[in-house]
Amino acid sequence: MDFYQIISLVAVCAFVVLVVYAVLTLVQIKKTAESVEYLALTTAEKVDKTSSTFELLNNVASVLDNGFYKAIALGVDLARRIHKKKDKED
């Protein structure tokens, strides 16, 4: 074998290795895409199931944000301060 035949053989072997790795990579990309699709579908179902919970939390937050809650919080804070003051005096 002369020099050009050896170089051609090396180039063909390198191309075959490249093709094998490309095919393996594409198979892995396909599996990953299928997994991502499955994850997206199951997540969408779970989000639909939890939307009522988020609505409830939003309602609770709006109740806690109104004046009635703030008045109760102020009363509790005043009671704590009075209690601390009495403890210091004793």
Tens of pLDDT, residues 34-57:
999 999 888 877 777 777 777 877
Residue spans of the domains in the chain: they are 3-89
d(CA 87, CA 90): 5
Say if CB 77 and CB 83 are below 8 A apart: no
Distance separating alpha carbons of residues 25 and 86, to the nearest angstrom: 74
**What pTM value is reported for the model?**
0.47
Ramachandran angles phi, psi of 4, nearest 5°: -70, -35
In the prediction, which pLDDT does 43 show?
84
pLDDT at 66 over 90: no
